[in-house]
Amino acid sequence: MAKRLTKETKNGSTYSRPAPVEVNIDGAINQPLEVIRQRLQVVSGTDPDFLTSECIVHLLRQATNAGDEERLAVLHEFLMRRVDRILVSKIRDSDMPNAEEVRLEATYDLDVLIARRSADLDFFEVRFNMALRNLYIPKLRNARQRPPMIPFADQDEDPDRDVSLQETSALSVDIVAAIRSLPPDELEAFMLIEGGYEVESNDPQKTTAATICGVSGRTIRSRQARAKEKLAALLKDHKP
């Protein structure tokens, strides 16, 4: 049976792995390296021999503690192959000029967590892909300190075009790149409204997009409008 996790949830209880992850770990924990090697070749998540990324993290921690260098090297390489694949799907070269650098930095952070036997790896044993976002999202934010890659249309072009995330999610992935390339204040206003916040309120106790950003409702509307205009121009460009 796998060792219990020690990290606590926001409610103070200890995190536990999802049942399928526990089963996956129990099946793999005592298997010889040759068997693990074969199982690492399985790529379909529905195959019973598939090793989840959560399970691989657990096996890596176990190999680190045992000083099993060969097992550690094999598991690390395969985990990083997956991480690279995930990051390529999440941070595309079209997002920014230094996308590969961002992917590499996030990978390095995970290396450090493993090498230092960080307790944060508990989160990766619970939901690997979700926890991985904590490594690459801060890198994305830092990398955004650069001029927009995408040539936006003039601001008076097609001003009434309305854009919502429901619409953009069904379209080309370049829209995500476009959203990511918005200036921080416009992105913030756009996403807060999309996330369900009111622009402003007469109730001073209510949290709104304006109170979060510390600006007036009018400024929020203006930022939101600019963001929409830029995205609308892109949508127009991408229409068949």
Alpha carbons 158 and 225: distance in angstroms, whole number: 11
What would the x/- binding string for another protein be over residues 95 to 114, using CB under 8 A? -----x--xx--xx-xxx-x
Question: Which residues 51-80 are close enough to bind another protein by CB under 8 A?
Answer: 67, 69-70, 73, 76-78, 80
Instruction: Give the number of other Cβ atoms within 10 Å of residue 119's Cβ.
Output: 11
**Closer to another protein by Cβ: residue 135 or 157:** 135
Residue 167 interacts with another protein (CB under 8 A): yes or no: no
**CA separation, residue 35 to residues 27, 31, 74, 169, 212 (Å):** 11, 6, 12, 40, 53
- Residue 128's closest CA among 25, 11, 30? 25
Q: How many residues bind another protein (CB under 8 A)?
A: 70
**Closer to another protein by Cβ: residue 140 or 233:** 140
**Closer to another protein by Cβ: residue 33 or 159:** 33
Q: Which two tokens stand for residue 187?
A: 């992105």
Reduced to 3 states, what is the DSSP secondary structure of residue 183?
coil
Nearest approach in angstroms of CB 72 to another protein is 9
Reduced to 3 states, what is the DSSP secondary structure of residue 12?
coil
Instruction: Give the number of other Cβ atoms within 10 Å of residue 190's Cβ.
Output: 25
Residue 131 interacts with another protein (CB under 8 A): yes or no: yes
**Stretch touching another protein by CB under 8 A, among 9-17, 19-27, 28-36, 225-233:** 9-17
Alpha carbons 71 and 152: distance in angstroms, whole number: 50
Residue 33 interacts with another protein (CB under 8 A): yes or no: no
Alpha carbons 24 and 39: distance in angstroms, whole number: 11
Instruction: Give contact residues for another protein (rule: CB under 8 A).
Output: 7-12, 40-41, 43-46, 67, 69-70, 73, 76-78, 80-87, 89-90, 100, 103-104, 107-108, 110-112, 114-116, 120, 123, 126-127, 129-131, 133-134, 137, 140-141, 165, 168-169, 173, 175-176, 179-180, 187-188, 191-192, 194-197, 207, 212
